[in-house]
Structure 1
Amino acid sequence: MASTEFCCAVDLGATNVRCAVLGRNGEISGFQRLEVSGIENASCITAKIVDMIESAVEETGVDIGAVGISTAGPVDLAHGSVVNSPNMQAGEIFLRDPIAEAFGVPVCMLTDCKAGAYGEYVFGGHGDASTLVYLTMSTGIGSGVISKGEILQGADGNAGEVGHFVVDTKYNMPCGCGGFGHWEAYASGSGMPRFFAEWLRQQGAEFEKPLLTSGQILFAARQGETLCSKFISEVAEINARGMHSLVCAYNPDCVVLDGPLAREYADLLIGDFGGYLRMPEVCVTELDGNAPLLGAGAYAFSSILEGNCRAL
């Protein structure tokens, strides 16, 4: 009989994949991390995840009852795959069935932002929220929504792709998905440096030092550098448009911010977005970047008990 005390959680992002064995109270052990940015072979990514799960289970010496997968989207839940993610270059990545076949346990998957939302709901102290929105600002931008204790999935499992809200037509920045003016083309870790270059060009300005990352731009703004401060003020206005749309779409009473940019620079990045609806509580995660991993595990435990994920 499969264990109901331990599961394995996987968090596949555009840059790294993380894996760990989780106990029912969110105890993390056997933690594994591997960089996957630049890997273009989908089967190779799946094989590496299988190896990581094996290593985590071997290190902890426990039996797992299920695997929960958090992944960058979009996803195809019917086939258990990631489908042409704009922030990964591997095409369609089949995860659910190969992992179920490798370990003989139920496997469930959901997008990383939904996993993050569920992690915050279960382990982040937000279980009393009627509607919780988890917003991550990382390589991309996305959200997950918990309403009355239920994950908002959408028809294919891709509800909450707020990074593709149109927030600007002035600069009309290209997005990795092929669209223009999308939120993550301006304020994500991957989009902000390109937006900064275009913003400088339209300002007729030059920056004396090459800034390669969003973190460097934000650090310079925090130090009071004039051009970077002015630019980040514009990013904050764009973020305010995205936040306003998010609040109008989901009417949350709580918004939890996560991702490396939000955890470090939320005070610079979020402008005033009040207006049409009641303002929700906005806070930064206290789960130290582990909300998606914890949420994938919590969802796996729920699946063991309720039988709502795919078994062999």
Structure 2
Amino acid sequence: MGGLILAADVGATNMRAGLFNERLELVKLSTAATPQTNVSAAVPMALLKLAREVSGDMWGMIERCGVASIGPLDSGRGVILKAPNIAEKGVEIPLLSMLMEELEVEFYHLNDCNAAAYGEWMVARENGVRNLVYITISSGIGGGAVDNGHLILGRRGNGVEIGHIIIDPSGYMQCGCGGYGHWEGYASGANIPRLAEKLLRDGQIPDGTLLAESIRKGALDAKRAFALYYAGDRGALGLFERLRDYLAAGLAGVINVFEPETLVLGGAIFLNNRDFFEREVFPAIDRYLLLERPPIIEPVRGDLAPLYGAAYAARDRIEGALVEPGR
């Protein structure tokens, strides 16, 4: 076995590393928790340890390495820049520093959603698709896009940060990144409870509802909010009218900008609540659209899409993702 590619996907809570053969088949996979303290040193060390674990005695056969990670990032330096969704916020993480000291190969660093878009497009292109957008709606909202066969990366690897498009210029909600009016600040799993809490404080959710009771008890999370909506709670129904429009407006904005042939939609908020999206959100998209709504499908690669995308990016030597030591 020769020509191996090492790939990794570093998330806010967990990380994966995989070893791919010359046919880009995943031959070994390892996972670990992402450290939450002393992250500038602990996360690079954990990544190196995981890479060593998954590679074993095949370490010397690795030709290239692709790494997907949370952002924002500086892909040319292999650095995560003050990620808002990790427990120890505001800390720069030299993600690839230790790994690059021990493995002398080319490294490619991508935002995890850009990597996922590339991983999904590698499957879709077999059916002739050249324009694809990937969106995940989970604890946060992220995305990536392939335009006529080219992965859009941006200047430092932060292109297509769709979770931070503005859907409310009044700035009613503050996003975890510190900005106001961002899509993620209203419609992500982490922020649906925060939106409900603020609406209750402002008198926009009626007292005497199960939603109001859950908020006051500190017992509301996204899963509970959806359960109350499905149960027909009056407070939750009002909240989800707003949520429907926030989700539809964000999705329509992305479609209007990129005009994809296929929109791949994943993340726990969508995958665990398909009925709400199919019955409420998708029809509401059309009133915001300039262009026709493309087919909306689930990820073929599932949670492994960023890992596969990182491997493909390393194989294809994606311009704009190459890490340049000393930059």
Normalising by structure 1, we get a TM-score of 0.88
Residue equivalent to 1:273: 285
Rounded to whole Å, the distance in 2 between the matches of 1:29 and 1:171 is 47
Structure 1 counterpart SS, 2:285:
coil
Of 211-220 and 80-89, more deviation after overlay is shown by: 211-220
Rounded to whole Å, the distance in 2 between the matches of 1:92 and 1:74 is 10
Residue equivalent to 1:309: 322
Structure 2 counterpart SS, 1:289:
helix
Q: Please give the per-residue CA displacement for 1:109-138, whole angstroms capped at 9, x wherever unaligned.
A: 110111000010113566622311100112
Q: Kindly indicate whether residue 36 of structure 2 is the aligned counterpart of residue 63 of structure 1.
A: no
Structure of larger gyration radius: 2
The CA deviation at 1:266 is: 3.6
Q: Kindly indicate whether residue 94 of structure 2 is the aligned counterpart of residue 81 of structure 1.
A: no
The CA deviation at 1:224 is: 4.1
Cα gap change, 1:299 to 1:219, in 2 (>3 Å): farther
Rounded to whole Å, the distance in 1 between the matches of 2:312 and 2:71 is 19
Q: Please give the per-residue CA displacement for 1:169-222, whole angstroms capped at 9, x wherever unaligned.
A: 567111111111111011112111211222333223353345443233224433
Of 248-257 and 195-204, more deviation after overlay is shown by: 195-204
- In 2, are the aligned partners of 1:80 and 1:109 still within 8 Å (CA)? yes
State the identity as a percent.
Answer: 28
What is the one-letter code of the residue matched to 2:271? R
**Which ranges of structure 2 fall in alignment gaps of 5 or more residues?**
none
- In 2, are the aligned partners of 1:40 and 1:91 still within 8 Å (CA)? no
- What is the correspondence of 1:177-256 to structure 2 with a 5 Å cutoff? 177-201=177-201, 202-205=204-207, 206=209, 207=211, 208-209=213-214, 210-256=218-264
Rounded to whole Å, the distance in 1 between the matches of 2:147 and 2:118 is 10
Rounded to whole Å, the distance in 1 between the matches of 2:119 and 2:174 is 32
Cα gap change, 1:280 to 1:27, in 2 (>3 Å): same
What is the one-letter code of the residue matched to 2:150? E
Cα gap change, 1:224 to 1:102, in 2 (>3 Å): farther
Of 26-35 and 145-154, more deviation after overlay is shown by: 26-35
- In 1, are the aligned partners of 2:76 and 2:324 still within 8 Å (CA)? no
What is the one-letter code of the residue matched to 1:273? I
Residue equivalent to 1:103: 103
Structure 1 counterpart SS, 2:303:
coil
Rounded to whole Å, the distance in 1 between the matches of 2:98 and 2:261 is 39
More helix by share: 2
Rounded to whole Å, the distance in 2 between the matches of 1:187 and 1:164 is 11
- In 2, are the aligned partners of 1:105 and 1:311 still within 8 Å (CA)? no
Count of residue pairs the alignment pairs up = 309
Cα gap change, 1:219 to 1:34, in 2 (>3 Å): farther
Rounded to whole Å, the distance in 2 between the matches of 1:112 and 1:104 is 23
Cα gap change, 1:75 to 1:63, in 2 (>3 Å): same
The CA deviation at 1:40 is: 4.3
Cα RMSD (Å) = 2.7
**Which ranges of structure 1 fall in alignment gaps of 5 or more residues?**
none
- What is the correspondence of 1:28-43 to structure 2 with a 5 Å cutoff? 28-36=26-34, 38-43=36-41
Normalising by structure 2, we get a TM-score of 0.85
Of 171-180 and 30-39, more deviation after overlay is shown by: 30-39
